[in-house]
Structure 1
Amino acid sequence: MRERRVGRPAGPRDSSAPVEGTFATSTGQAAWVPEHDGSWTLYVNGVPSSPVRVGDPAALDFEYLQWMADVIRLVLPPTAEGPLRAVHLGGGACALPRHLATVRRAEGQQLRQVVVELDAELATRVREWVDLPRSPELRIQTGDARGGLAARRDASADLVVRDVFSGDSTPRHVSTREFLAEVDRVLAHGGLYVANAVDRTSPVGLKAEVATLRAVFGHAAAAIEPGVLRGRRHGNAVLLGSRSPLPVAALTRVLGAGAAPARLLHGEALEAYAAGAPVLADPLPAVPTT
């Protein structure tokens, strides 16, 4: 789910384009909408979810996806020593997994990606209409994001991406300290957690999400558009967490120089941003009465 998008020149097209119109899914309905520049946007239950450029899988037209791609490239640079193992919580049209598969393949690195998507019918339609990589480069599993994460082995992923929305809001159960502890368990040493959050629609508050991130990860940061940070507009924020130090100088430079610049908060600035916000926790289990 995104607030705004950044256009790019149209890429090549082929016969595997999505079919314009609305279709029923397991959780409601979705629609493929063609854009004026030749790209497509997938809407899920009325909310823009994923950009697609047919024949140009490396393109990312949503600004927060561009930020995520830059962060992943800088924190987890390509290597020939082994595949990049990624778990994506939330699928949509799999724009980021599709991008990663394309660029890493071109750079000589293999990928092993798993996408956990709640909506089974949506996953089927996306496989039919989008030129996605096949297994083992990209596998789509249907189920709840947190349940899919719990099924992963310890230290089995280099990257965990959270891009989960119910309507236009992030569900609370993928925002809590206990959820992030599961992410930390699944990440290997040096692994990276990246999450998409929208300040306007966060039911718990973006500052509470940041406070919870800082409570679990020793190294945390947030990429936020300056206008959003100053309260002048609403938009996406990309949250980063790791056990290992983040390349703060490189991240600050690259994120601040893109077509949609973002400011990177870290250290004391991130602490000040989240000051006074609560750390989110799972509800306590009900106590049986006698």
Structure 2
Amino acid sequence: MPDRTSRRPSGSHRGPTRPGRAAARTPWPTGPVAIPTGTVELERDPDDPDGVTVLVNGVPSSYLDVADPSRLVFEYMQQMAAVLERVGPPGSPLSVVHLGAAGCALARAIDAERPGSQQLAVELDTALPELVRGWFDLPRAPALRIRAGDAREQLARLADGSADVVVRDVFSGDTTPPHVRTREVAADVARVLRPGGVYLVNCADRPPLADARSEAATLADVFDDVAVVAEPGLLRGRGYGNVVLAATDDPELLASPALARAVRSLPAPARLLHGDEVVAFTGGAGVLRDPDDAQGRTP
């Protein structure tokens, strides 16, 4: 059952409040709400009356600031946003596919920062998207379409060269389902991306980061360039956390010194690995592939 996992919220700076975003559309529940894949719950931020965390089956899956849609609090989303800032001309609309939706925090921020963007969010749970639309002032179609279904199956239906960005944020508990981690999926993402597009992956892992290393090796087998972004302590083998992987055919996007400086300057400073550093990070890890008899799908 996919959902997002996140590290603690970090102290991001609040942007300007945007009129018309402050009120929820329907009253928020005071406890867990049953959904087909388990439960969803809203947890108010005790330090910020405008902040709320969406928990899916007890796991923090999104943090939303109802007064400022551009504000991202989870550290891995801030890292993704630093990469996104370098896709296309500054402020230009993007076509974005989100594999994994939850509270649509990143999609909401992109809509605020890149007016005119068209986004598709895919969520396995059939009830969660409409609940989230009711609780929060999410953009409407065509700015943001939310589709219920399996991430891999929905990806296969998308047209060639139809997206600037694909974001994978799919989890079952605290791990990513195997059927969305393989080379075959990465190749399908590459098919969907336009030239210069980027694939962003949220990989939650713990030492020795075997999953992240295998995923980086898998992306490097498909894409021309790959970068790894994470907190320095996690890269040194301390604790459990999120590793962001970025893959593209653009030779300049991830090699930019400005990107490395941007991730170092985040509220929770991160490190960007690129080039030979990524080769060292993968350490000979094998490429993940579909089982021949199951196309990588789990029951």
**TM-score scaled to structure 1, two decimals?**
0.91
Q: State the superposition RMSD in angstroms.
A: 1.9
Cα distance in 2 for partners of 1:166, 1:77 equals 35
SS in 2 for 1:167: coil
Tell me what 2:73 maps to: 61
Specify which of 138, 160, 169 is matched with residue 132 of structure 1.
138
Tell me what 1:283 maps to: 291
- The alignment status of 1:14 with 2:11, answered yes or no, reads no
Cα distance in 2 for partners of 1:172, 1:240 equals 19
Q: CA deviation at 1:78?
A: 3.1
5+ residue gaps in structure 2? 295-299
Tell me what 1:260 maps to: 268
Amino acid at match of 1:56: D
Matches of residues 1-290 of structure 1 in structure 2 within 5 Å? 1-8=5-12, 13-16=22-25, 18-36=28-46, 37-38=48-49, 39-78=51-90, 83-105=93-115, 110-200=116-206, 205-245=211-251, 246-248=253-255, 249-285=257-293
Post-superposition CA distance 1:59-89 (Å, at most 9, x none): 1110111111111012334365xx4111110
Post-superposition CA distance 1:94-119 (Å, at most 9, x none): 000000001112xxxx1110001111
Give the ranges of 4+ consecutive aligned residues of structure 1 lying more than 6 Å apart after TM superposition: 9-12, 201-204
**Paired residue total:** 280
Change (3 A) 1:97 1:15: closer
Instruction: Report percent identity of matched pairs.
Output: 47
Post-superposition CA distance 1:192-221 (Å, at most 9, x none): 101111113999611111111111111110
Change (3 A) 1:7 1:19: farther
Post-superposition CA distance 1:168-194 (Å, at most 9, x none): 111111111000000000001111101
Whether the aligned pair in 2 keeps the contact of 1:18 and 1:130 (CA below 8 Å) is: no
Whether the aligned pair in 2 keeps the contact of 1:89 and 1:117 (CA below 8 Å) is: yes
Cα distance in 2 for partners of 1:239, 1:267 equals 13
Change (3 A) 1:34 1:201: farther
Q: CA deviation at 1:141?
A: 0.5
Whether the aligned pair in 1 keeps the contact of 2:24 and 2:136 (CA below 8 Å) is: no
Cα distance in 2 for partners of 1:9, 1:205 equals 31
Change (3 A) 1:8 1:274: closer
Q: CA deviation at 1:244?
A: 1.2
Q: CA deviation at 1:224?
A: 1.1
Change (3 A) 1:229 1:204: closer
Moved more, 9-18 or 94-103: 9-18
SS in 1 for 2:233: helix
SS in 1 for 2:137: coil
Cα distance in 2 for partners of 1:165, 1:173 equals 11
5+ residue gaps in structure 1? none
SS in 1 for 2:219: helix
Change (3 A) 1:47 1:111: same
Cα distance in 1 for partners of 2:209, 2:134 equals 34
Moved more, 68-77 or 171-180: 68-77
SS in 1 for 2:85: helix
Cα distance in 2 for partners of 1:203, 1:127 equals 35
